Copies of this chain bind each other. A is one copy, B any other.
C-alpha cells in the first residue's frame, strides 16, 4: 500500500500542570498510548522557543507556510473559512454584531444573538459604497466576516473592535497612503449606514421592546489583504484534505488550496462529532495522501480554565477518534498548534508534545504521551517548520536535496 498520513491537531493541546498533572498527563488514553509505544515523540515549538503562537500562524507554520511570508492576517482566513470566495486584493475583517448606546459600546456580542438573527440581519450590511463592494457573512452567533472588494484599498487601518467596552472609536488609517485613508473612510461610512439600517430593522425594534441588547452596530478587527499563494500540492507534491469544524481552520486550508471536507456534526465546539470526523478521514484517505484533522475543543476547555473538561475531552478523543484513525493503516501524527494553559486561560509559548507513529517506523518506546514524557522522545526538540519535512519523508515524497 502507498503510505498515507493523518495529521491530527488537537488545538491548544499542551498545558501546565493542574494539581501536579497536565490534562494530557492525567487523561486515560490507552489507544494513544498504543501508538506512542510504537512511535517517536518530541517537544515542539511551533514558531520558536517560548514564542506564543496564534492559531492562524501556528497552523500555517505546521503546514509548511512560514507566517512571515504567508500570513495574510486573520480576516482573510476567517472569510475563506466562512465560504466567501476571495479574489486577490480583497480586504477582509472579522466582524461582530455589538450593542452601542450613544457613542459607547455596551456589549461586544449584542447579547450573543442567535445564528438565525445574525443571518436575518446580513442584508443590512451587504452594500456598495462608492466603487467598493461590501460583502458580509454571519458565521456563528454574533460573529461574522466583512470583505471589501474594490480598487485602491489597504488593510493598514485601525480596528473598530477594540476588544473592550467603552467609547466607540472610528477607524483611522495607520499610514499616510491614499489606500489606507480610503479604506478607513469606507469602514466608517459603512458603520454609520449599517447602524441606521440595523436600528430601524424590525428585529431590533422587537429586541428594544423586550429590553434585549440591540444588535445595532458592526465592529471589525483582524484586517488583512488576500493574495493567491502557492498551493499545498505544488509546494509539497502531495494532495491533502482538511477535516475541521472551526471556521479559521477551514479558512487556513482553503487559503493554501487544500480541499475542505464538510462533515455533518463537525462543529468546532465541545459537542463536535468525533466519530464522524474519524470516518470522514478514513474515507478521505482513499483519495488523499495527507488528511489534516482538526479538533478545537481542547483549546476551548483551556480558555475556559476547565482542566477536568479538557482531560475528559482528551479521553473522548482517545476512545472515539483514535481507534478509527488507527484502523486506516495510515501513519499518524498527533500534536497541538500551541499550548493553552487552563491556569491562565490563554495561549502560551510552552512546548507542545508531538507523536509520530508509522507502522514500520522507528520507535522510542515511551510509555506515556504528554508534555513530560515527550521530553525523553527520540525526536528531541523540533520546530513547527519540521513537521512537513518529517511527513514528506514518511510518505517517501520528499525531494532529494542534491543527488
What is A's interface to B at a CB cutoff of 8 Å? 16-17, 22, 40, 43, 47-58, 67, 71, 74, 222, 343-344, 346-350, 360-364, 371-372, 375-383, 386, 388-393, 396, 398-403
Closest residue of chain B to A40 (Cβ to Cβ) is B375
Q: Besides A17-B363, A43-B380, A51-B393, 20 other CB < 8 A contacts?
A: A49-B382, A49-B389, A50-B388, A52-B400, A55-B402, A56-B403, A57-B402, A57-B403, A74-B402, A348-B393, A348-B398, A349-B390, A349-B392, A349-B393, A350-B362, A350-B393, A362-B371, A362-B372, A375-B380, A380-B380
CA distance A71 to B398 in the complex (A): 19
CB-CB under 8 A from A400, the residues of chain B are 52-54, 347
Query: Are A401's CB and B47's CB within 8 A?
Result: yes
Query: Are B381's CB and A67's CB within 8 A?
Result: no
Query: Are A52's CB and B398's CB within 8 A?
Result: yes
Query: Are A58's CB and B372's CB within 8 A?
Result: no
Q: How far is the CB of A93 from chain B (nearest CB, A)?
A: 12
| Across the A-B interface, the 10 shortest Cβ-Cβ residue pairs | A54-B402, A57-B402, A50-B389, A349-B393, A49-B386, A375-B378, A380-B381, A50-B390, A50-B393, A54-B403
CB-CB under 8 A from A363, the residues of chain B are 17, 372
Query: Are A390's CB and B49's CB within 8 A?
Result: yes
CA distance A361 to B22 in the complex (A): 10
Residue among A22, A348, A371, A380 with most chain B CB within 10 A? A380
CB-CB under 8 A from A362, the residues of chain B are 16-17, 22, 350, 371-372
A to B CB contacts below 8 Å, 30 in the list: A16-B360, A16-B362, A17-B360, A17-B363, A49-B383, A49-B386, A50-B386, A50-B390, A50-B398, A51-B389, A51-B398, A51-B401, A52-B399, A54-B401, A54-B402, A56-B402, A67-B401, A74-B403, A344-B396, A348-B396, A349-B389, A349-B390, A349-B392, A349-B393, A364-B372, A372-B378, A375-B378, A379-B381, A380-B380, A380-B381
Query: Are A52's CB and B401's CB within 8 A?
Result: yes
Q: Which of B48, B57, B390, B396 contacts A389 (CB 8 A)?
A: B48
CB-CB under 8 A from A372, the residues of chain B are 362-364, 378
CA distance A349 to B361 in the complex (A): 12
Q: How far is the CB of A170 from chain B (nearest CB, A)?
A: 22
Q: How far is the CB of A9 from chain B (nearest CB, A)?
A: 15
Closest residue of chain B to A391 (Cβ to Cβ) is B50
CB-CB under 8 A from A361, the residues of chain B are 16-17
CB-CB under 8 A from A378, the residues of chain B are 43, 372, 375
CB-CB under 8 A from A43, the residues of chain B are 378, 380
Q: How far is the CB of A351 from chain B (nearest CB, A)?
A: 8
CB-CB under 8 A from A50, the residues of chain B are 386, 388-393, 398
